[in-house]
Amino acid sequence: MKIEAVDLFYLAMPTIRNVGDGSQDALLVRVAAGPWVGWGECETSPLVSIANWVCPMSHSACRPVRDAVLGQSLETPADIARINQHVRDLGLDIAQTDHTLSGIDIALWDLLGKQRGEPVYRLLGDKQAYPKTPYASQLFGDDAGQTLAKARAMREEGYAAVKFGWGPFGRGSVAEDREHVAAAREGLGQEVGLMVDAGTVWGEDVAQAAARLAMLDAFDVTWLEEPFVSGALASYQALVQHGSRVRMAAGEGAHNFHMARHLIDHGGIGYVQIDTGRIGGITPARRVAEYADARGVTFVNHTFTTHLALSASLQPYAGMQAHTFCEYPVEASELARRLTRTAMTRDANGQLHVPDAPGLGIEPDLAVIKAYLVPVEIRVGGATLYRSSEP
């Protein structure tokens, strides 16, 4: 097979709100090779990645992603790895390349899985997929009362664990943060796991994060996620040295294997959270999962958008029985909820299973793509470099 066509679809809600919700828009990727079609999704600013797909060459290591993908042969998983590296080589000096590559890599795995009649996790070498324990991922409420109501609702829905993040957390006093965490714990009860996501709010300020550790310990918080920006390795390590029972979690900002590895080796994190839509796709995410397993760090997916992205994010560690947590978005936008024909739902025991179907096992709804499509045309020097395709 040869890659004959790649189409990018910029989708968006009618109104984009200034909140930490990445599901308000989406960039879908469709790859065609012969009679086969694969789908992927980038966790990115859609227009920037579309420009990255077609941008004029600046020099030999600053070329559009398109140059490294179209016309490539696709027969085996090794071809996907080769294409992945080729994209990185040609786009070495374009920071956006990894995010754009992510959706393409995912679509290639989906396409090859369909062509072979195998789920992606089997193409990766896993004989079976183990169930994961989904934690309901959502934002803190605007006040403690809203956080309490959200926690009670998730407990009633039977989630074994819940994560609260962003919103007002970390932007006020320790006492104000304590009110939110206390409300979350009250609403969940003692038997439901609780995680907290600070959303990089403290930059690299160890003192601000450390001031909250005793409080998080008191409410039996499993992990503190992204207290700092991804590259602040010294800050992560310094916070770990405080000796709290709360483990550090990070990795969603990693856009290549090396960034994730450095967080594991030099940041002291206990959980590495990888988004296949950011790191360059399933190919490098699998590499991180294997590395984390060898280093005694728990691999967790990062997904706050669609169920296409959710399936892609689970494939790299589906066959790893010891890595059990799975981020499960419960506050996604209408666009994200409607985008796929089917959804991944919990079983009677509250567990989540990777689809046992060829490729990702999740297909987008073309009618929904049409409904949310943002038409894009890019013209440079009087020539049209890009125009939106029909779904």
Residue 367 predicted with pLDDT over 90 = yes
C-alpha dist (Å) from residue 4 to 107, 132, 273, 295: 13, 36, 33, 40
Contact (Cβ atoms closer than 8 angstroms) between residue 233 and residue 225 = no
Q: What is the mean pLDDT of the chain?
A: 97
pTM (two decimals)? 0.97
Per-domain boundaries in the chain: 5-118+365-387, 123-338
Per-position DSSP letters for 286-327, written without gaps between them:
HHHHHHHHHHT-EEEE---S-HHHHHHHHGGGTT-TT--EEE
Q: Measure the CA–CA gap between 207 and 333, rounded to whole angstroms.
A: 35
Residues contacting residue 73 through CB under 8 Å, at least 6 positions apart: 1, 2, 3, 79
Who has greater pLDDT, 338 or 20? 338
Q: Measure the CA–CA gap between 196 and 40, rounded to whole angstroms.
A: 29
Class (C level, CATH) for 5-118+365-387: alpha beta
- Per-residue pLDDT tens digits for 243-298: 999 999 999 999 999 999 999 999 999 999 999 999 999 999 999 999 999 999 99
Longest CA–CA span in the chain (Å) reads 63
CATH number of 123-338: 3.20.20.120
pLDDT bracket for residue 197 (50, 70, 90): very high
Domains 5-118+365-387 and 123-338 fall in the same CATH topology:
no
pLDDT, average across residues 28-55: 97
pLDDT bracket for residue 90 (50, 70, 90): very high
Closest CA to 360 of 69, 44, 23, 28: 28
- Per-residue pLDDT tens digits for 172-194: 999 999 999 999 999 999 999 99
Which 3 state secondary structure label does DSSP give 335?
helix
Per-residue model confidence (pLDDT) at position 20? 85
Tokens matching residue 178:
């304590």
Closest CA to 337 of 16, 2, 26: 26
Per-residue model confidence (pLDDT) at position 143? 97
Residue 370 region, left (φ>0) first, then alpha (ψ -120 to 50), else beta? alpha
Question: How many helices (H) and strands (E) would you count in the chain?
Answer: 15, 13
Sort strands 25-33 and 5-12 into parallel, antiparallel or unpaired. Answer: antiparallel
Sort strands 325-329 and 377-380 into parallel, antiparallel or unpaired. Answer: unpaired
Q: Measure the CA–CA gap between 296 and 49, rounded to whole angstroms.
A: 34
pLDDT bracket for residue 237 (50, 70, 90): very high
